[in-house]
Structure 1
Amino acid sequence: MSDLDLLATFLEIYRRGSLTAAAAALNISQPAVSGQLARLEGQMNAVLFERSRRGAVPTPPAHELARRIASPLDQLRGALTQDADGQAHQGTVRLGAAGELTASRLVPALAPLVSGGLSLHITLGLAQDLLTGLADGELDLVVSSVRPSAGKRGLTAMPFVDEEFVLVATPTTARSVDRDRLAEDPLAALAHLPIVAYSRELPIIRRYWRSEFGRRPPNPVSMIVPDLRAVLTAVIAGVGISVLPRYLADPALAAGSLELLHHTQIQPLNTLYLVTRSGPAPASIARVQHQLRRQAETWGPL
């Protein structure tokens, strides 16, 4: 068996979340899959999956290997199917994603495929709603800010790109913060500032506060609007502070209408996933996945 076969088996386990599901997809026995995985782990001198009740849980080396090999392997597979029948450039792909990422990155990245004959129907929404639509067969592919939970069986997730988060405010608001106190007790120093959020659960903001300050934000919430572009506008207008992906905040930071309110040694990241239903993907969906992964390689963290 070639090393390429071992990598293909690894990728099936990684995407499907279990050795059993990978064996079914590859039409081989589970012991054969286990043997191939053991051989690859021996060659790499690394454990790639931890066994648990949730199935095969990827380790950090597995995440890194998947990032390196997924796009080349998919491209090789695509060459066998796309050139044979041309179906990758035809048909309709129903894509779900957040509106901000769709407008700024996904539409430009996928425009060449649409020009080549692919029809793309895009649904905008929050991650959990989109994943439910995918599981129910209403969507073909979702760019999700969360990895599907174990309760959403039948879905396969692949890391796509990382978002980098920044805490921002207007220059006037930033000057209202005591810098000495911010260095000593940032939670207390920022507590008087109202927050603008895109959801009642404060998902991005809560993650940033817990990562950087060790607790949920005690701040009052001044506005909730389910669109990060509107959150950005509200912060610029002085409604409050917020945590935003850097790709959205960068133009306002460069223009001076916003400032970084808090500096970190390592910027908090959130991984976005490409999620499909388990099983072999039609050539058109595989083509969209490949195009997005190829473009993401040029973006770096967003």
Structure 2
Amino acid sequence: MQELDLLRTLLEVHRAGSITAAAARLGMSQPSVSERITRLETELGTPLFTRSARGVVPTPEGDALAARVAAPVDRLREVWAMPAVTGPAETVRIGGASDVVAARVIPALAPLTSQGLRLAFTLGLAHDLLARLADGGLDVVVSSVRTPVRGIRYRGLIDEEFVLVGAPVLARTIDRKRLAADPAGALQHLPLVAYDADLSIVRRYWRSQFGRRPANPVAITVPDLRGVLAAVVAGAGVSALPRYVAEPAIGAGTVELLHRSDEAPINTLNLAIRAAEPATPATIRVIDALVERAREWDVL
């Protein structure tokens, strides 16, 4: 059975292309998966994967072994299946912004559904979701703000870099000499695309980089980072976005970086949970999976 466990782990890592993703699928910790792969490599006397910042790549020996054992190991999946659930599956209620949930949270947590968990998502703005968490309506909130709320404690997931971007047609209207001397003034004529009425993201960027609140007119307000990017690409205005959201458009040339800083502005993505009561085992599994997967998010 031990050898079969090693081969099953090999297949999951081979298919996922990542130790962390395979660990989530198997319901194991990342170190445990790494230890199993190392043990199998030691027994066989050959490396099966090469490691990189983006995951793992199978060696020719790893590819050959995976191809040889895939069919018989897949037929034996029922041996490793969890016992049948005799009662209703436990549901974990998760809140977050629609863009973050779609891009990061769902891919990280979806494997847990094959292990007997149900996930129910509530989408919205952080302040509303944190209020629901405090009232017991949610179990976990993924939040880009860390607002002090009675009965809630926070755990940082990852620091995200923010960039200021605009369509090329707007970028060409900026006086570059003035931008170097007075960036806020050089950008003041540009309309903004805002995430919310409080200008929460662009306001944070302006204050951290220029020392003041933006005085720019607001053209569009849309509470979804993908919608913000779409509006920026369309030339409706400029905005500050997490680099992982803006990077594809930057690479395609549909938006440009409007401002560069010696110290990149960052914001921490947090996990929020209730402090007054212990988390359920199912909620702990959700938290652990998000923490593990967040280690890879900086390379997405």
2:181 equivalent to 1:189: no
Aligned to 1:104: 103
2:261 equivalent to 1:264: yes
Would you say the 8 A contact 1:148–1:155 is kept in 2? no
Look up the equivalent residue of 1:196 and give its one-letter code: V
Aligned to 1:287: 285
Look up the equivalent residue of 1:221 and give its one-letter code: V
Q: Distance in 2 between matches of 1:229 and 1:219?
A: 21
Deviations 1:191-234 (A, max 9, x none): 11111102111011011101111111111111112222111111
Look up the equivalent residue of 2:217 and give its one-letter code: P
Q: How does 1:74-153 map to 2 (within 5 A)?
A: 90-149=89-148, 152-153=149-150
Q: Which runs of 5+ in 1 are unaligned?
A: 1-71, 76-82
2:259 equivalent to 1:273: no
Q: Distance in 1 between matches of 2:162 and 2:218?
A: 19
2:249 equivalent to 1:234: no
Deviations 1:168-200 (A, max 9, x none): 001111111111110011111101111110211
**Per-residue deviation at 1:300?**
2.4
Q: Distance in 1 between matches of 2:259 and 2:128?
A: 32
Look up the equivalent residue of 1:288 and give its one-letter code: V
Equivalent position to 1:165, from 157, 162, 166: 162
Aligned to 1:21: none
Look up the equivalent residue of 2:134 and give its one-letter code: A
Would you say the 8 A contact 1:163–1:246 is kept in 2? yes
Look up the equivalent residue of 1:155 and give its one-letter code: I
2:297 equivalent to 1:299: yes
Q: Distance in 1 between matches of 2:251 and 2:131?
A: 38
Q: Which runs of 5+ in 2 are unaligned?
A: 1-28, 33-81
Would you say the 8 A contact 1:90–1:284 is kept in 2? no
Residues 301/270 of structure 1: CA separation in 2 closer, same or farther (3 Å cut): farther
Residues 147/301 of structure 1: CA separation in 2 closer, same or farther (3 Å cut): farther
Q: Distance in 2 between matches of 1:230 and 1:295?
A: 25
**Per-residue deviation at 1:301?**
7.7
Would you say the 8 A contact 1:163–1:301 is kept in 2? no
3-state SS of 2:262 partner = coil
Look up the equivalent residue of 1:138 and give its one-letter code: G
Q: Distance in 1 between matches of 2:175 and 2:99?
A: 33
3-state SS of 1:176 partner = coil
Q: Distance in 2 between matches of 1:126 and 1:299?
A: 21
Q: Distance in 1 between matches of 2:243 and 2:225?
A: 11
Q: How does 1:64-75 map to 2 (within 5 A)?
A: none
Look up the equivalent residue of 1:91 and give its one-letter code: E
Q: Distance in 1 between matches of 2:136 and 2:278?
A: 15
TM-score (norm 1): 0.69
Q: Distance in 2 between matches of 1:97 and 1:119?
A: 16
Q: Distance in 2 between matches of 1:133 and 1:263?
A: 38
3-state SS of 1:96 partner = strand
2:202 equivalent to 1:205: yes
Q: Distance in 1 between matches of 2:295 and 2:194?
A: 29
Q: Distance in 2 between matches of 1:136 and 1:233?
A: 34
Would you say the 8 A contact 1:164–1:301 is kept in 2? no
**Per-residue deviation at 1:148?**
3.4
Would you say the 8 A contact 1:204–1:243 is kept in 2? yes
Q: Distance in 1 between matches of 2:90 and 2:141?
A: 17
Q: Distance in 2 between matches of 1:272 and 1:281?
A: 20
**Per-residue deviation at 1:272?**
1.4
**Per-residue deviation at 1:90?**
4.3
Spell out structure 1 runs of 4+ moving beyond 6 A: none
Residues 234/193 of structure 1: CA separation in 2 closer, same or farther (3 Å cut): same
Look up the equivalent residue of 1:235 and give its one-letter code: V
